[in-house]
Amino acid sequence: METLYTHGVRMAESLQHGTKSYERFWLVITHLGDPKAAFLLVFPFTYFVSKRAGIAVIWVAAISEWLNLVLKWVLFGQRPYWWIRETGFSAKVNQFAATCETGPGSPSGHAMVTAAVWWVVVSTLSRAIKSKTNSALIAALPYLFYVALLVAVGLSRIYILAHFPHQVVAGSITGLILGVVLGQRVPEGRSLLFFCKISFGLLLSTVLFHVALQQIGVDFSWSIAVAKKWCSRAEWIRLDTTPFSSLTRDCGALLGLGLTQHWRPRGWPLPMGYRALSLALSSMGLYHVNRLPLPVRPLSLFYCLLFLKFVIVPQLVMVLVPGLIYFVTNKKKD
């Protein structure tokens, strides 16, 4: 394992020195691979093109990020930025604002969620292309983009010292498998009770798992402690990178998805032009929802508000904005 860590740090060092002029590119890519981007960026774009694919994106994103949390608690992976300081390893590397995540490092959540979510997107796109062109070569192009995206996200995580290479590879492979499996089982048209069971079931089972492991002496706060100790700037430590933030985000999004299908199971019948308008307005709304500051004390209040914030995300995209546009446009017709 020490050899993997050593080679990983050397790779990060080479990337930082050899591609220094592309620093902005790497930072943009790592933000694109953030699991939050699956909910706030990929989901609305996909939904207004294909309702089923949009539902699949938010479903796959939530389940894959939740599983990533459980795997991180079990595997206890180090992160390069704190491993270098803890061991005194000699390397000329820099940290960035996106570096200082507080959860364990294995497997990479960015790689895992990106691989799972974008598999849904590119496979849907590929099928659509093949049905219209009947060309297997053209239909394969989305998969080339998929591979390039995974490589770019993985390298960006290594570049900013958030992950070792083997953690990125593990996350990508696991995410690909989840994307293939979960993408075939989209809970479209399921009852609100189904989503309530999934949401609160994941929340309760994870909390009980956490408590059980604590009782046998497993310390889950170790990664948060070393992150705070070795992060270059205190303000780079963010509460929304903690494992329980991921959990509340996923459970909130799943409950929100269930509510949208309960209130408006078939969505709103909008033509393509109005869908584009819905996408623009939804994206603006999600931008402001994401920027909404939450109090960090007490912690229970922060997690409750974060849960509610992501309950709102599907409502905004699937019900509120399209419903408003449908109401206004049909009122004008009348």
pLDDT tens per residue across span 80-135: 999 999 998 988 999 999 999 999 999 999 999 999 999 999 999 999 999 888 88
Write down the mean pLDDT value for the chain: 93
Burial class from Cβ neighbours inside 10 Å (0-12, 13-18, 19+) for residue 1 reads: exposed
Q: Which residue has the higher pLDDT, 76 or 196?
A: 196
- Distance between the two ends of the chain, CA-based, in angstroms? 69
* Active-site residue identified among 7, 17, 31, 163: 163
10 marked as part of a ligand binding site: no
State both tokens at 249: 């985000």
Residue 36 in this model has a pLDDT that exceeds 80: yes
Considering 110, 210, 262, 288, which one is annotated as catalytic?
Answer: 110
Structure tokens at 274: 């109005």
**Mind giving me the DSSP string for 61-104?**
HHHHHHHHHHHHHHH----HHHHHHHHT--------TTT---S-
- Chain segment 296-325, per-residue pLDDT in tens: 889 999 999 999 999 999 999 999 999 999
Decide if 7 is catalytic.
Answer: no
Which residue is it, tokens 């992160």? 79
For residue 190, say whether it is annotated as part of any ligand binding site: no
Other C-beta atoms lying within 10 Å of the C-beta of residue 39: 28
Question: Is 166 labeled as catalytic in the residue annotation?
Answer: no
